[in-house]
Amino acid sequence: MESWKGLDVEEQDLESFLKKCNSSTTLITGPVGNVQAAIINRGTKDAQSTQEFAQAIAVATYERDFKSNAWLWVEKFIKFHGLVKDGDINNTTHLGSCNRTGILPFVACIVEQCNSNGLGDMQICVKDPTSTVWASVHRKVLLHPEYRRDFNVGAVLLLNIVATFSHKHKICYLNITVRNIVKIFKANICELTNELVQATMKSVIEPHPSLDPKV
């Protein structure tokens, strides 16, 4: 399989790579758009190699997600309030460990996709720097007055004591309920300043049951 086939890239992340194309070119959204962009890339005089093209898109996607205002807010919020060891966001629970544990103690992740399941709940795709996984969001989250407006693509979630379950082929899913949500940083949050972070209230993080001395 060529490296571009597994890319999950949105249209805006490809625009910078398509300046060489004429203005009438329109990308198909989703994975098919990745194939389309790769074909266009190959058909131009200054085409990049598939590997270079895939790497450039990966860099652009990382910049979009993990240098967004919402993600920068989360990094600073965690550090200021000391929510994890050394206040380092890298010490949160990684989504990459999802297949190895039934409970994720404290997760910071960005919402990539949101899809209603027609039953009042929602299926979403979330990612952190280590992995991308799917999650089921309970309908009460979507009805919650504090969460419903900000629960959309580009928002960053802080989640606590999240249950996970595995489907066939060892695909891991998160089960997100109201009690799991610590805080949501909306996608269009304002630019970060020290003064704004210092004015925030510290969130309560429940310990993993195995670490709670009361259990």
3-state secondary structure of 6: helix
What is the average per-residue pLDDT within 150-179?
A: 88
Residue 16 has pLDDT above 60, yes or no: no
Residue 30 banded pLDDT, cuts 50, 70, 90: very low
Residue 47 banded pLDDT, cuts 50, 70, 90: low
3-state secondary structure of 52: helix
Sequence spans of domains, the chain: 3-66, 89-211
> For 178, left (φ over 0), alpha (ψ -120 to 50), or beta?
alpha
Please provide the size of the chain in residues: 215
**Paired tokens of 76:** 């600073």
* Chain mean pLDDT for the chain: 80
Whole-angstrom distance, CA of residue 132 vs CA of residue 125: 7
Q: What is the pLDDT of residues 72-121, one digit of tens each?
A: 999 999 999 999 999 999 999 999 888 766 899 999 999 988 988 778 88
Residue 122 has pLDDT above 70, yes or no: yes
pLDDT of res. 86? 96
CATH superfamily of 89-211: Nucleic acid-binding proteins (2.40.50.140)
The pTM is what? 0.75
66 against 3, higher pLDDT: 66
Closest CA to 69 of 195, 214, 186: 186
